[in-house]
A and B are shown apart, each in its own frame.
Chain A
């Protein structure tokens, strides 16, 4: 069964460093998302991406964040200058219908020291 994959599974970085989180969505999906989950809390929406542009973003997704689909298979989330409060699990999701049945990857645990 096709699935969303994410790399790395765990990323440790120093405050102020740039990180890039990578995702390979399900191959025939057209809509891509990033969510994050701070430890012990609920999953929060960051950004949605369709047709090579951002379609929606949350207040969390400020100028320090960017997303890109550099080729036909990868979808990346970049954090330019990480802060301690960026420590969280980051989930990529995708869907084919452009509606709501989103399929999530296993996540990248980001630890900012």
Chain B
């Protein structure tokens, strides 16, 4: 079936380090969303991207809509302990009204 693949699957970093993760698809997306999920909680929307090549920031987070429209990237600068969680990319497949397909997730762990 259709799938959004995220890499890396998990990462351990030290506090203060920068983080990069990406999301790839076999099909074109017109919108990319990035969510963060804390354990036992619902996904929280971080950034929404609507145009190929778009670069959008939210505090220490920066996301980019890949120019091929088949990928997206999320960077976190100067990580802190509360960045721990699972980061999901999501988007609507072409031809669907508004249902979101979620990626496989990147689990981020931060050590002091």
Complex CA–CA separation, A105 to B88 (angstroms) = 16
Q: Known contacts A42-B103, A45-B101, A48-B98: does B92 contact A100 (CB below 8 Å)?
A: yes
**Residue from B33, B41, B97 within 8 A of A101 (CB atoms):** B33
How many B residues touch the partner, as a band?
Answer: 20 to 34
Residue of B nearest to A106 (CB): B42
Number of interface residues, chain A, beta carbon within 8 A:
25
> Chain A contacts of B33 at CB under 8 A?
100-102
Q: Name the CB-closest residue of A to B38.
A: A106
Given contacts A101-B48, A106-B41, is CB(A45)–CB(B100) below 8 Å? yes
- CB-based A-B contact count at 8 angstroms: 63
Complex partner residue of A55 from B31, B97, B100, B105, CB under 8 angstroms: B97
Which DSSP category, helix, strand, loop or mixed, fits chain B's interface?
loop
State which of A64-72, A79-87, A91-99 sits at the interface with chain B: A91-99
Q: With a CB–CB cut-off of 8 A, which chain A residues contact B66? A: none
Query: Which B residues touch A55, using CB under 8 A?
Result: 97-98
Q: Knowing A43-B88, A100-B31, A101-B33 touch, does A31 contact B98 (C-beta < 8 A)? A: yes
Q: Given known contacts A48-B99, A95-B98, what 12 new A-B pairs fall within 8 Å (CB)? A: A35-B100, A48-B98, A56-B98, A56-B99, A99-B98, A100-B33, A100-B100, A101-B48, A104-B44, A105-B42, A106-B42, A109-B40
